[in-house]
Amino acid sequence: EGILKNHVDKFHGQNVVFLFSLGCIANFQVKGPLMKEIQTFEFKSGDVLFFNATNKENILHGIESIAESSTAPKELSEKFAKAGEYRIGLQMRGFSCVEPGISFEN
């Protein structure tokens, strides 16, 4: 279906999430604690999104739907004929390697 229900990551300490999108457009939703309502935007092929994924920041996020249109690079579609028919989402997490209690904040 291509849907990821809106959720909040509940990590403690220093944690950041990097999301990379390739292929079809994802209709991505996000709401931070200072935002009045959920914002939806087109997460296109080649886009990168990163955010603080700690429970302190409380970032609500998810994928509402996948559009049928693709923004995959022409070269990728030429090499892989079906590249424009799928969305590939790559998620990477960065965790703090320092002792608990040490903050990078000023």
Indicate whether this model's pTM tops 0.85: no
Nearest-CA neighbor of 35 among 8, 5, 58? 58
Please, what are the averages of pLDDT over each run of 10 residues along the chain (106 residues)?
86 83 93 95 94 88 91 85 85 72 54
pLDDT of residue 5: 95
Which residues lie closer than 8 Å to 102 by C-beta, 6 or more apart? 96
pLDDT of residue 95: 72
pLDDT of residue 28: 96
pLDDT of residue 101: 57
pLDDT of residue 15: 82
